[in-house]
Amino acid sequence: MSDNVVVDYGWTTDEEPCSCGYIAPKVYAVLKELGVRRVLDLGSGNGRLCADLAQRGYDTVGVEYDQGGVKVARAHYPQLHFYNYGVQDDPAALLKAEQTPFDTVVSTEVIEHLFAPHLLPKYAGAVLRPGGYLIVTTPYHGYLKNLVLSLFGKWDRHLTALWHGGHIKFWSRATLSQLLSENGFDVIGFHGVGRMPYLWKSMVVVARKKAGVTAEDVR
């Protein structure tokens, strides 16, 4: 395994990440509005979000590249299915195991960690039913927030340069929307969460799989 690939994000407990406090409520609201049932958590970490979604009545499955995260998730939530896959893996393996495609893929605070972020929407598109949805959250960046970070000298901390496995991609609404559009999705919704408008901590982007896109098209 190359040292350039992060395989351990330090999952040891099933405690929810601090970002769940402001991200999860919006994800729950979007899922309710979409009226879906079968959900894949892509980058499920320690499985906490999967478990919370299952308690709300969703048929939920988790996919996580970090073996430690999968181990924690399986130990705490044995009634749910967790798979040790990454977005670079063949989505056919998940479909073969689960047999049924998903209504929605949720991926919270994952895409900013990926060297090849286009693989996330490609994987999602391959495991979604026709017209299925993708909900992606990631730290928000825009002119006003970037300016404030500069004025208060917060960029070093914000860039997480000393965090092994930290953020390596920094997204705006425009760049994330373009990534999704170029990889099989139409963006249909945007929400800022945490803090006041335009200084949001994170953004929640909702997209629908484009008509006519098949699993073969996005591999």
pLDDT in tens, the chain (219 residues): 445 556 666 666 667 666 778 999 999 999 999 999 999 999 999 999 999 999 999 999 999 999 999 999 999 999 999 999 999 999 999 999 999 999 999 999 999 999 999 999 999 999 999 999 999 999 999 999 999 999 999 988 888 888 777 889 999 999 999 999 999 999 999 999 998 999 999 999 999 999 876 555 555
pLDDT digits (tens, 9 = 90+) for 75-108: 999 999 999 999 999 999 999 999 999 999 999 9
Nearest to 9 by CA among 71, 87, 82: 71
Cβ count near 99 (within 10 Å): 6
Identify the DSSP state of 97.
H
CA–chain centroid gap for 199, Å, is 21
Q: Could you give phi then psi for residue 102, rounded to 5 degrees?
A: -105, 150
Instruction: State how far the Cα of 18 lies from the Cα of 112, in Å rounded to an integer.
Output: 16
CA–chain centroid gap for 149, Å, is 25
Cβ count near 54 (within 10 Å): 18
